[in-house]
């Protein structure tokens, strides 16, 4: 009987690992598609505030329709839920728009190399803001992460300060978003990652829309759209649809994973995702990379691997 119980437990653990593994694979694939279409759009229609808003709008629309048609069960939410979601949504909004601004200025690969240092930001913020302590090996593992990113930034052929700063700001705010999200999701256990992310999208959309109008505005959007479609045809519209829908889908799957794992495992999975994105975007956009730049990126990613080993 004891053996049977042990075997059942082992099977359940294996099934859950397989389930998380599959979610990771889907998350990374959706993310690659998002990054490619997002950059295709930004190359011909450089309005990152609008495209960030459209990504959130697409997700909100998809979820509202799914709830209305009863394809998915709508969550039961009260004022307290929305109040506690506000800081998460603020961090999500800033991190999202900052990453999109970054990608409108530099190669997708460069943004993601800088974003691969997110675990380092996670440690520093948890230490300084939340007073969490880590073993000294964890701090040591930050050296290759920070050093590798610095080397990659210093040798980036198309370095741009706004692109660099946007990726750094995104790192900081996504750390807060992940920590607050995990806390929020454990509080509202019944809700699940999918509906939690849906509510997050909606609130972020409300936060971002007025700023997008103030910073870019309908007049610039219309003029830019005419120029983009004149030069590249109606396909630009479908690129925008693809980047918006895939943004929602990859985030939704990532939240369904975060629901089941620790923020640490999540941020390591996220860094590994960036390797996939960096390699595929370099191939897709024929990005010129100097050998020393590639070495910097590799050191940064290896640092994250070391970090994951020390932080267990
Ligand atoms: C965004 O627009 O939010 C970023 O591209 C997201 O980056 P990440 O989800 O890969 O951290």
Could you read off the pLDDT of 282-302 as tens digits, one per residue?
999 999 989 999 999 999 888
Distance 245 CA to ligand 1 centre (A): 14
The answer to whether 135 touches 123, Cβ cutoff 8 Å, is no
The answer to whether 73 touches 212, Cβ cutoff 8 Å, is no
Could you read off the pLDDT of 197-238 as tens digits, one per residue?
999 999 999 999 999 999 999 999 999 999 999 999 999 999
State the number of CA atoms in the 13 A half-sphere of 20 facing the CB. 14
- Domain regions of the chain by residue span: 37-131+158-259
Mutation test of ligand 1: which of 33, 95, 272 has the most ligand atoms closer than 8 Å to its C-beta?
Answer: 95
Could you read off the pLDDT of 245-254 as tens digits, one per residue?
999 999 999 8
Distance 1 CA to ligand 1 centre (A): 48
What are 108's two structure tokens? Answer: 């997708």
ipTM above 0.90?
yes
**In 10 A of CB 274, how many CB atoms?**
25
Distance 250 CA to ligand 1 centre (A): 10
Nearest CA to 46 out of 170, 227, 207 is that of 227
Tokens 């490619």 correspond to: 36
99 CB less than 6 Å from ligand 1?
A: yes
Could you read off the pLDDT of 71-118 as tens digits, one per residue?
999 999 999 999 999 999 999 999 999 999 999 999 999 999 999 888
pLDDT mean over 237-241:
98
100 CB less than 6 Å from ligand 1?
A: yes
Contacts for 175 with CB less than 8 Å, ≥ 6 apart:
118, 121, 122, 125, 126
The answer to whether 280 touches 32, Cβ cutoff 8 Å, is yes
Distance 63 CA to ligand 1 centre (A): 20
Q: Any long-range contacts for 266-272 (C-beta under 8 Å, 24+ apart)? A: 266/178, 267/118, 267/119, 267/122, 267/178, 268/119, 268/304, 268/305, 268/307, 268/308, 269/24, 269/27, 270/118, 271/116, 271/118, 271/119, 271/301, 271/304, 272/24, 272/28
């Amino acid at each position: 009987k004891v053996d049977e119980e042990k075997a059942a437990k082992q099977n359940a653990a294996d099934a859950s690992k397989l389930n998380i593994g599959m979610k990771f694979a889907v998350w990374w694939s959706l993310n690659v598609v998002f990054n490619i279409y997002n950059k295709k759009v930004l190359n011909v229609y450089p309005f990152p505030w609008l495209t960030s808003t459209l990504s959130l709008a697409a997700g909100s629309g998809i979820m509202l329709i799914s709830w209305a048609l009863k394809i998915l069960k709508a969550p039961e939410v009260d004022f307290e839920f929305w109040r506690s979601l506000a800081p998460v949504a603020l961090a999500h909004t800033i991190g999202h728009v900052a990453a999109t601004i970054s990608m409108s200025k530099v190669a997708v690969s460069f943004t993601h190399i800088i974003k691969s240092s997110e675990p380092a930001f996670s440690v520093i913020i948890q230490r300084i803001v939340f007073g969490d302590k880590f073993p000294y090996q964890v701090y040591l593992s930050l050296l290759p992460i920070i050093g590798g990113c610095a080397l990659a930034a210093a040798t980036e052929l198309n370095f741009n300060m706004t692109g660099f700063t946007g990726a750094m700001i995104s790192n900081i705010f996504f750390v807060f978003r992940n920590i607050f999200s995990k806390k929020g999701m454990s509080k509202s256990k019944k809700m699940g990652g999918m509906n939690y992310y849906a509510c997050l999208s909606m609130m972020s959309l409300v936060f971002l829309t007025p700023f997008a109008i103030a910073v870019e505005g309908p007049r610039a959007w219309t003029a830019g759209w005419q120029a983009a479609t004149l030069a590249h045809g109606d396909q630009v519209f479908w690129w925008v649809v693809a980047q918006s829908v895939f943004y929602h889908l990859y985030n939704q799957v990532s939240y369904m994973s975060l629901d089941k794992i620790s923020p640490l495992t999540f941020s390591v999975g996220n860094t590994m995702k960036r390797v996939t994105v960096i390699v595929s975007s370099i191939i897709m956009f024929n990005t010129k990379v100097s050998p020393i730049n590639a070495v910097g990126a590799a050191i940064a990613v290896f640092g994250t691997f070391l970090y994951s080993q020390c932080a267990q």
